[in-house]
Structure 1
Amino acid sequence: MITYTDATLDDLPFIVEVYNSTIASRQVTADLQPVSVESRFAWFEQHNPQKRPLWLIKYHNQPCGWVSLSSFYGRPAYDKTVEISLYIHQDFRGKKIGQTTVAKIESFAKQAGIEAILSYIFGHNIASLNLFEKMHYKQWALLPKVAELDGVKRDLVILGKRLD
């Protein structure tokens, strides 16, 4: 059973822990060093339950990850477009939590008047590309070799989906 709750500041250490656990793989984030809980306060405050949620994901009542919708580009004309971030703890991957969560946040987004969701994924992150393609996201942009991870140039793929 998968459930979702609005994240609280008490959840932030877990959220940061899951995020930091992905850094070493060089598959998921462009951060190269772990982030601190304190450094994520402003990011946390940019979310709200009405239009830019940050949800804690629980699998059988055990925290297993988080998902958020963030503003795209920060200008009013883009208010109906968001960026999705989805992080699942490694112990819980392969249980269809990602698919269920993307479907759930899309349903929320439609009700909140959001019309498009973007997902930024490294070109070598095959698991995430497969997840979003399975959820009918299409490639809207390719930014070749815009990131450098341990001396290796990496592509950024932007997948998008219209909800209207």
Structure 2
Amino acid sequence: MEAADFPSDPTISLREAAESDLPAIVEIYNAAIPSRTSNADLRLITVESRLDWFHAHSAERRPLWVAVHEGRVVAWVGLSDFLPRYAYHITAEASLYVDPSLQGRGLGPWMMQQLIDECPQLGVENVISLVFAHNKPSLKVHERLGFERWGLLPGVTKLDENRGDVVVLGKKI
């Protein structure tokens, strides 16, 4: 996880998230809510509501990393259990959020690739991402990273008054 591996800005570093990063993680997540393109929450979430989620991550199995630029958390990426039953332990769901001011510069794909590269050491054989079908930029990033379309969940979301599909993207490690 060397910052020098990120080609467009070597001043960005990637590290394991600390609980003290949770306010910044929540702020970045909340910034995506109004667009209705990258998460299914319709109202802002709180730090307190994310404490259990944060503690479900571990460096050894389901990491949560943050990108830091000039002392500020500007993005996060992590793996979560895909489903709770044990047979699914070889499959993890990836999540990635980038501060709007840094989107479109390659930071997200770089972070996701770092996470993918770590998967063999974590015992992860499959990475899954659930992406809204109308989120074309995210679909393109996943495609460039070698994800394939493994499924479609038609009409499973209602964002305000709009029904939406979710694309299941997967990558075998």
TM-score (norm 1): 0.96
Q: Hey, what does 2:27 align to over in structure 1?
A: 17
Aligned to 1:38: 48
Shift of 1:60: 5.6
Work out the CA distance in 1 between the residues paired with 2:14 and 2:105.
16
Conserved in 2, the CA contact under 8 Å of 1:3 and 1:61? no
**Structure 2 residue 165 is the aligned partner of structure 1 residue 155:** yes
Instruction: Give the whole-Å Cα distance in 2 for the aligned partners of 1:99 and 1:35.
Output: 25
Q: CA deviation at 1:99?
A: 1.4
Structure 1: gaps spanning 5 or more residues: none
- Provide the rounded CA distance (Å) in 1 between the counterparts of 2:60 and 2:84: 17
Which residue does the alignment assign to 2:6? Answer: none
SS of residue matched to 2:116: helix
Percent of matched pairs sharing the same residue: 39
Match for residue 135 of structure 1?
Answer: 145
Q: Following the alignment from structure 2 to structure 1, what is the Cα–Cα distance between the partners of residues 109 and 46?
A: 28
Residue-pair matches, total:
163
Aligned to 1:5: 15
- Opposite residue 31 of structure 1, the aligned amino acid is D
Contact 1:69 1:85 in 2 (8 A): yes
Could you tell me how far apart the structure 2 residues matched to 1:113 and 1:8 are?
23
CA distance in 1, matches of 2:51, 2:129: 22
The runs of at least 4 aligned residues of structure 1 exceeding 3 Å deviation read: 59-62
Structure 2: 5+ residue stretches without partners:
1-9
Match of 2:135 in 1: 125
Cα 1:116/1:4, change in 2 over 3 Å: same
SS in 2 for 1:22: helix
TM-score, normalised on structure 2? 0.91
Secondary structure at 1:105 match in 2: helix
Q: Distance in 1 between matches of 2:63 and 2:86?
A: 18
CA RMSD of aligned residues (A): 1.0
The letter for the 2-side match of 1:143 is L
Alignment partner, residue 57 of structure 1: 67
Letter in 2 for 1:139: R
2:115 counterpart residue number: 105
